[in-house]
Chain A
Amino acid sequence: MAGRRKAILDPSYEAVVVGAGNGGLGAALQLALKGVKTLLLEQHNVPGGFATSFVRGRFEFDASLHELADVGSADNAGSLRVFLDEAGTDIDWVAIPEAYRVILTDENLNVRVPFGIEELIDTIESEVPGSRKAMTKYMELCKDVNGALGILGGIADSAKPDRMISDFMSFVRDSDNPIEEIASIVRKLMNLLRVISKTVDQVSDEYKLPDRARAILYPYWCYLGLPMSRLSFTSWGAMLISYMTKGAYVPRMRSQELTMAMESRIRELGGRIEYNTRVEEILVERGKVTGVRTSQGDEIRTSQIIANVSPTLVYNDLISPKTEVPKIALKNVNARKHASSCIVVYMGLDTTLDELGLTDYGYFISKNMDTDEIYDSTYVLDVPIMQATTCLNNVIPDCSPPGTSIVSITTLFSMDSWSDVTPKDYFKVKNRIANGLIDQLENGTGANIRDHIEEIEVATPATFARYTRSYKGVVYGYELDPWDGVIARVVTKEDEKYIKGLEIGGGFSFMGHGYNVSLLSGRAAALSTLKEMGVKS
């Protein structure tokens, strides 16, 4: 390069975090909080990975966020808010007023679903008279499962995951604790055990939930991305309870506020962040990490690495030399199935949501709520039959200039159906699908979108691959079948750690995908790293 040597980095760090998505940022933040000399490396030139925003004309779009679970209000804080507050990040959270509106065009169903377990049951009862009893029991079960998960690993409810189990043990041992509470804990655990290997459909059948009740209850499935005939009930139940009891939030300045707030805090705490720096090799010697090599030619020594990268890529592409990759690690990642990618249509409209008659933030629009049929439709290079659409001005009225609004349509999309698209056809194909999605939105809501499009951008699996380099543009990590659900992953986490000093955080790690769990799994990875380093918590 032009008469100039490359600016270099320090040759060694106590810990290196690979990737500045939610997981990597959560990890680096936790490490920096403990004063660990941390280097966070990111191949893109801003933090966030999927959790980013972009500007077009007068509009700023969120690349991915619909809503964040596990934030909660200041006095009913979820573990994510607790962590980020304690870490000293500056984020302006805005509450989403209601859970969603579900519109099923073939079923003549159009229902707004509020937050709150009672409110949910009431809403379904008024649409499906006679469902109250079954729904109440079902939600009790979800609560128990969520509570049990919280107790067992702090996965859903606790801000201090690593302490929960010992707390539980001492809680049980402590004779002062009332027997009723111990009994309730035991009940929760028993309930969890009962459904631990079941799918959502199996449990709904067992509880005799009417079809129409399921149709109203199920839309959130698309945040987990697996049809209810396969989705692990525990993952589902925990998510449902989290949304219903803690509500949902977005940062005022799109998800980029969340990720830049973490970035800023990491730097304040002395962590170092380098962008435009892709880790090309994770160096391993005799089963232990020793450092990384980057696209900038850095070679950095470290004994602790947290990868905000899918294990599939870690074991196939990153670990060097290849002889250090155990066969079992490759089998492990091959056994698991990559989940969906997405297509998103971002639109800046030159009219208000009011004028369009769009009254809600989140719309789930589909022909029906047959999740198998919907899932299958994402495996065809065509318009999938379900979309999840957000109308941001209904949460943040001034997120765009007066008289305008931001509407984003998202649909799950299997990356395999995108595999045959050639560069030549690319723009045509993506516009055809975007067109179909806009039709679907107009048909479902009656809003005239088309005449008001001032800015539009369409993201496909290739777009996500471009910005995050995720394998095949996968957004949703690995599929959450019961055998690879959260419980199964937590339980096997230690046994399936194949390289000493290497932790995985983010959407491909043990907690599953989504903003909150990706971020907190990065943090959990950092807690393991700290433990390994002997840093006191």
Chain B
Amino acid sequence: MKKKNNFLGDIAGLIELLPERKRRIERASPGPIGDDPINELARSLHPQKIYFEIAEVRDETPTIRTFKLVAAPDSGTTALPVFRAGQYLAFREEVQGVVVTRPYSISSSPREALEDGFMEITVRKIPKGFLTKHIWKNWKPGSKITSSGPAGFFYHEPLRDTNHILGIAGGCGFTPFRSMIKDAIDNDLDLSITLLFGIRTPDEVIFKKELAKYKRKMGKKLKVTYVCSEPDGSWKGPSGFITKDVIKKQGGGVKGKTLFICGPPAMYRFLENELAEFKIPQKRIRREVFGEIDDITAFDEFPRGLKRKKFNIKVHIGSEVEEIQAKATETVLVAMERAGLAPQSKCRSGECGFCDSLLLDGEIFVSPENDGRRMAGVKFNHFHPCASYPVTDLEIIVNRSV
């Protein structure tokens, strides 16, 4: 090595390259590099974690609550990030000694985060829900909670989408649209929003009052219709599910619009049929991910005879090895959470790759609707535990969480 460098050094020195380099280095300052506005921008756009304090809790209905969240400077968040209307936050909570995450769409507007210093999420209580039960009991004004940075791709993108959104929402799927409407008003966007919101019973109508206010501001550019599947005598709006006829009549058809669909998987499957006749190009339909599939055995592709099976998973984290038990019908992610391993996740839908892990041995079933793996990931046995179910005993490597 030495010889080579001397030899090269001789010839390069001959021609003044090295003296110039030397001069430049000697002349340079020995001071520190100073700040890095680009990394700062990246951090403020995409904080790894947001530490919140709950400022206010509002009951929208007996089972739906809006939480107003502000930055918790003592915990490390001084300002809230901007985001794109429609994105979600993944909250990380400790419940009964185990750590789980759950994604919730931000229901407030980007401007409110930036200028008014708050974000809102609107949460529906799930019967027998693991986290939501805990939320109802523990999330009070003053509580401290933690989420990921804003994530997800369910937002209007002017480079891609038409300037008329036809939103179809079910379950708690209204929340991202609330953010989109507020954003359109705040920024006076060239954007029309027609929204069909499927509810089960009339008491699930939410945001009625504020919608009237938004309507006054947006005029013809906003139209919201609630469609009730189990109406009572007092219900005056359209009833049933969101069918092609509702889409034509209340939704005004699909022409020139970009569909944004957010709701439970059953609604997606139902809509598939209803939308067929419109022959909408794929680029005009955006679907929000829906989290873990509640009943994976309902899929034809799911291997038969596994329903009651349990498997062992050998999990490597750092230099440690844990043996855990997993049900065939639960995702590998849930099995790890149950076992208290606190793995990281965000979308819980196979999409974001945040839970990416490595399969060393055994076989998994990957939910076909939630398979967001990279091609090379499949080739080299990377997998997303949030969208994968054990089919045999497994051995896996999981990242320590950030």
Contact = CB atoms under 8 A, between A and B. Distances in A.
Contacts of A438: 159
A7 to B, nearest CB: 3
B320 A7 contact: yes
A355 B44 CA distance: 41
Interface string B2-42: 11110111011011111011001111111111001111011
A493 B44 CA distance: 37
Interface string A1-24: 111101111100000000000000
Given A46-B353, A254-B374, A483 B21 contact: yes
Given A2-B340, A491-B8, 15 more contacts: A7-B400, A45-B399, A53-B374, A274-B399, A328-B30, A334-B31, A423-B114, A454-B282, A454-B283, A455-B160, A456-B157, A473-B39, A482-B17, A490-B8, A492-B21
A453 B356 CA distance: 28
A463 B42 contact: yes
B320 A454 contact: no
Interface residues on B, range: 35 or more
Contact of B39 (A46, A472, A483): A472
Contacts of A312: 33
Nearest to A152: B8
Contact of B318 (A7, A166, A455): A7
**Which of the listed residues B28, B39, B94 has the most CB atoms from chain A within 10 Å of its own CB?**
B39
B147 to A, nearest CB: 16
Interface stretch (B69-77, B167-175, B212-220, B376-384): B376-384
Nearest to A419: B37
Interface stretch (A111-119, A199-207, A212-220, A257-265): A257-265
A418 B401 CA distance: 31
Nearest to B39: A465
B224 interface: no
A206 B323 CA distance: 71
A4 B336 CA distance: 13
Nearest to B44: A423
Interface string A424-439: 1011000100110010
Nearest to A435: B159
Interface in B269-298: 281-283
B188 to A, nearest CB: 13
B400 A277 contact: yes
Contacts of A483: 17, 20-21, 24
Given A45-B354, A153-B4, A456-B160, A6 B400 contact: yes
21 contacts: A4-B342, A8-B319, A46-B356, A53-B375, A54-B353, A55-B372, A193-B14, A197-B15, A252-B375, A254-B374, A257-B379, A295-B402, A330-B31, A334-B33, A418-B37, A422-B41, A465-B39, A471-B33, A471-B39, A472-B36, A490-B5
Contacts of B32: 316, 330
Interface in A172-219: 189, 193, 196-197
A333 B375 CA distance: 39
A34 interface: no
Contacts of B17: 196-197, 482-483, 487-488, 491
Contacts of B283: 350, 452-455
A165 interface: yes
Main secondary structure of the interface of A (DSSP, over half): helix
B84 interface: yes
Interface string A260-281: 1101100000000011110000
A253 interface: yes
A473 B374 contact: no
A256 B281 contact: no
Contacts of B16: 197
Contact of B82 (A53, A423, A455): A423
B330 to A, nearest CB: 20
Nearest to B93: A2
Contact of B29 (A55, A331, A431): A331
Contact of B38 (A332, A419, A488): A419
A427 to B, nearest CB: 7
Nearest to A43: B402
B153 interface: yes
* Smallest CB-CB A-B distances: 8 pairs: A7-B318, A454-B283, A335-B28, A253-B375, A466-B42, A7-B317, A256-B376, A165-B4
A382 interface: no
B72 to A, nearest CB: 18
Given A473-B42, A491-B12, A531-B1, A10 B319 contact: yes
Given A3-B97, A494-B5, A528-B1, A330 B20 contact: no
B396 to A, nearest CB: 13
A6 to B, nearest CB: 7
A421 B40 CA distance: 11
Contact of A274 (B8, B43, B99, B318): B318
A434 B29 contact: no
A286 interface: no
Contacts of B114: 423-424
A469 interface: yes
Given A253-B379, A462-B41, A471-B39, A454 B160 contact: yes
A34 B166 CA distance: 59
B376 A334 contact: no
Contacts of B12: 196, 487-488, 491
A418 B281 CA distance: 36
A277 B97 CA distance: 25
A482 B24 CA distance: 12
B376 A423 contact: no
Interface in A221-277: 251-254, 256-257, 259-261, 263-264, 274-277
Given A46-B382, A335-B25, A350-B283, A6 B318 contact: yes
Contacts of A196: 11-12, 15, 17
A332 B28 contact: yes
Contacts of B318: 6-9, 274, 296
A45 B356 contact: yes
Interface in B101-122: 114
Given A8-B318, A10-B319, A473-B39, A334 B28 contact: yes
Contact of B11 (A193, A421, A463, A471): A193
B333 to A, nearest CB: 14
A426 B38 CA distance: 11
B115 to A, nearest CB: 9
A295 B402 CA distance: 8
A67 B285 CA distance: 33
A427 B84 contact: yes
A190 to B, nearest CB: 10
Contacts of A536: none
Interface in A294-317: 295-296, 312, 316
Contacts of B14: 193
Contacts of B129: none
A233 B21 CA distance: 17
Interface string B156-189: 0111100000000000000000000000000000
A316 B33 contact: yes
B399 A275 contact: yes
Given A8-B320, A256-B377, A276-B399, A327 B30 contact: yes
Interface string A478-505: 0000111001101111110000000000
A193 B15 CA distance: 8
A162 B15 CA distance: 24
Contacts of A426: 41, 45, 82
A531 B20 CA distance: 30
A415 interface: yes
